[in-house]
Amino acid sequence: MSILAELGLLIRLSHSQGIARRYFVVNGFDGALAMLGLNMGFYLSGGVATGIAVSACTGTAIALGMSGLSSGYVSEMAEKKRELRELERAMVTDLEESVHAMAARLVPVLIALVNGVAPFLIAMLVTMPLWLEQAGVSMPIAALHAAILTAFAVIFLMGIWLGRISGTFWLWSALRTVAIAIATCALILLVTA
């Protein structure tokens, strides 16, 4: 059996497809909102040097990634071990040599990767205009404004994706996620004003 087929079997066995998708959305949303908040903070404080903004955003992205990676691994490992022990009790046998034990070992790693990579990648995507400006690429609008707009665009796209998953109207779902982003900005304005 090929490695991909084996991985597919392990994911099906542990019913992890939905979990990974949920983690991707939850942590991706975290990444986008954290970057939106950070860039809003820079904007409201009158702007900062691009280098400082890039460093702060990259540091936050790495921290979000590491947080997702470690928390995902620890929680999923505990959950999968518990499920394996329950299955062993039901089967009245040791399942260490089975695909179930393999799934309990490997699936937490896969889910932790999704959990960590999603916020990191999305945060880096939002930070992209700042990177471009630092690299000397000229843009029609200020990099900070572009980063905030990118955060809204990413949140809008995630809303569309959520709508497709849930089978609801995509625009309604996208507008709902954008409303959350607007509420976040309003709160930041309220607190920092």
Partner 1 sequence: MAAIKRIVLDVLKPHSPNVVEFAQRIADDMAGCRVQVTVSEMDENTESLIVVITGDQVEFEVLSDALRSMGASLHSIDDVEVVQGE
Q: Under the rule (CB under 8 A), what is the footprint of partner 1?
A: 1, 9, 12-13, 15, 86-87, 90-93, 95, 97-100
- Taking only Cα atoms into account, the Rg of the chain, rounded to an integer number of angstroms, comes to 20
CB of 22 to partner 1, least distance (A): 19
The angle at the Cα of 160, spanning 157 to 164, to the nearest 5 degrees, equals 140
Distance in angstroms (rounded) separating the CA atoms of residues 151 and 127: 9
Select 92 or 135, whichever has its Cβ closest to partner 1: 92
CB of 3 to partner 1, least distance (A): 15
Select 86 or 182, whichever has its Cβ closest to partner 1: 86
CB of 4 to partner 1, least distance (A): 15
User: Count of CB atoms within 10 A of residue 151's CB?
Assistant: 28
Q: Are 66 and 121 in contact (CB under 8 A)?
A: no
Select 1 or 190, whichever has its Cβ closest to partner 1: 1
Distance in angstroms (rounded) separating the CA atoms of residues 8 and 51: 43
CB of 18 to partner 1, least distance (A): 14
